[in-house]
Amino acid sequence: MKLWGGRFEKSTDKSVDDFNSSIRFDSRMYKQDILGSIAHAKMLGKCEIISQKDSDLIQITLKEILKEIENGQVEFEIDAEDIHMNIEKILISKIGDVGKRLHTGRSRNDQVALDFRMYLKDEVSKIKKMLISLEKTLIDISEKNLDVILPGYTHLQRAQPITFAHHMMAYFQMFKRDLGRLDDCYKRINVMPLGSGALASTTYPIDRPMVANDLGFDEISENSLDGVSDRDFAIELASCLSIIMMHLSRFSEELIMWSSHEFGFVEMDDAYSTGSSIMPQKKNPDVAELVRGKTGRVYGSLISLLTVMKSLPLAYNKDMQEDKESIFDGIDTVKLCMPVFTNMIATMKIKKENMYKAAQGGFTNATDVADYLVKKGIPFRNAHEIIGKMVLYCIGNNKAIDELTMEEFKSFSDLIEEDVYREISLETCVSGRNITGGPAKESVMASIQSAKEYLRQKH
């Protein structure tokens, strides 16, 4: 008989048991469920809601059950519906009526909400560690490539010369924001809902702050209806995960392009590439492509959660059982992608000569020629027009700007002197942008130092 079966005259249909059960996916929360129950039992004893003897026995037995589960000695039952009922059923089988006292002063609704929050707290901490590992890898790559010049792009057209280190540190900033979002999201996950009951709290004199303190929660939910029906924290986490995957996908897209023959900027290590079943010359960036593809899967988790919750009245509804598979899959996907992506970029070969050669083409120093004229006293808009005509001339004569003779330069402006060649070299174009946030070596080194300090202080 089910633990809630007193009101029913017949058993549920077998197909309904299978349909209603969530044990196949919520069993992963067994540890959180047991730790939450131990804290609840401890509080019940302290508040004299149950005897201290019963409280102690429940706590000891729950710890034994935890060890048995971790040793693979427990097989969960579908007809017990979920992890919460499974563990309670095992507890009762071991200590009889004493085990039945555990559920005093709580509902499965607030129990589920508690376990869910505890589980997500643990997972956020794990993902943050993965992000920090990726951030450290980006710093390492940047420090090794401070002088490597490549073209920066807008509209996927060569724009201005930058350094590879500067480019990598742009991704550091993205993942830094992801860490900040997870920190912020964690605050809203870290609210203890136990004590909300099914929806209207409880008449027992429970000590909610005691349980919150034992379980490491910073706050207690202030409304029992909201305590059992809130899933904003899961939606917010799904949003954070989606943004992380968006950043990984953008990065992957560049790596996929850069590893092509057309770019030839990087080459993936053999350990992070695959071949073709028919074309023996192929070396495919499949890891980056899969990360890009799995991004859509995480987005789907976010949309699923939003859709499940969009029309639910207060308080708890069975629809909310659908929250876990979505966020669990999003978490699993991010945790699958992060380590392999980090190792992939740590081992990739950077083709510095190809990057530099690409920066020499596409007139990436055109803005610097315009700036050169501005420093000679010409208004920027006039200088822009002059250099536009110069670029058109170069295209027609198949020349780069720095390949023009002084006579050709003079045909566009008498103010141009021999020093123009030095002023528009790629090295000068980069080093001249020595402001906070710029690509000059000194600026990037300062950015790297700031990044290291951030990781030391915050994480």
Is the CATH number of domain 5-104 3.90.550.10?
A: no
Residue tagged active-site, from 11, 125, 260, 276: 276
- Out of 2.40.30.110, 2.102.10.10, 1.20.200.10, 1.50.10.10, the CATH code matching 117-146+154-195+218-357 is 1.20.200.10
Instruction: Provide CATH 1.20.200.10 ranges for the chain.
Output: 117-146+154-195+218-357
Q: What CATH number is given for 360-458 in this structure? A: 1.10.40.30
Distance, CA of 94 to chain centre: 42
Neighbours of 318 (CB within 10 A): 9
Question: Alpha-carbon distance 360 to 151, whole Å?
Answer: 8
Q: Is 252 a catalytic residue?
A: no
Within 8 A by CB and 6+ apart from 191, the residues are: 117, 217, 218, 219, 220, 221, 233
Residue tagged active-site, from 155, 261, 277, 311: 155
Could you report the average pLDDT of every consecutive run of 10 residues in the chain (459 residues)?
Answer: 58 61 89 98 98 98 98 91 94 98 97 98 98 98 98 96 98 98 98 98 98 98 98 98 98 98 96 91 94 98 97 93 95 98 98 97 95 96 96 96 96 96 96 96 98 90
Neighbours of 94 (CB within 10 A): 16
Amino acid occupying residue 252: S
Question: Alpha-carbon distance 194 to 215, whole Å?
Answer: 11
User: Is the entire prediction scored with pTM above 0.95?
Assistant: no
Identify each DSSP E strand in 324-428 by its residue range. 349-350
Q: What does the pLDDT read at residue 14?
A: 61
Question: Alpha-carbon distance 103 to 126, whole Å?
Answer: 31
> pLDDT tens digits for 121-153?
999 999 999 999 999 999 999 999 999 999 999
The length of the chain in residues reads: 459
> pLDDT tens digits for 316-359?
999 999 999 999 999 999 999 999 999 999 999 999 999 999 99
CB environment 17-33: b (16+ within 10 A), e (fewer) = beeebbbeebbebbbbb
Q: What does the pLDDT read at residue 3?
A: 58
C-beta of residue 89 within 8 angstroms of C-beta of residue 80: yes
Residue identified by tokens 């499965």 is: 108
Question: Alpha-carbon distance 108 to 97, whole Å?
Answer: 19
Q: Is 276 a catalytic residue?
A: yes
Q: What does the pLDDT read at residue 436?
A: 97
Instruction: Provide CATH 1.10.40.30 ranges for the chain.
Output: 360-458
Instruction: Provide CATH 1.10.275.10 ranges for the chain.
Output: 5-104
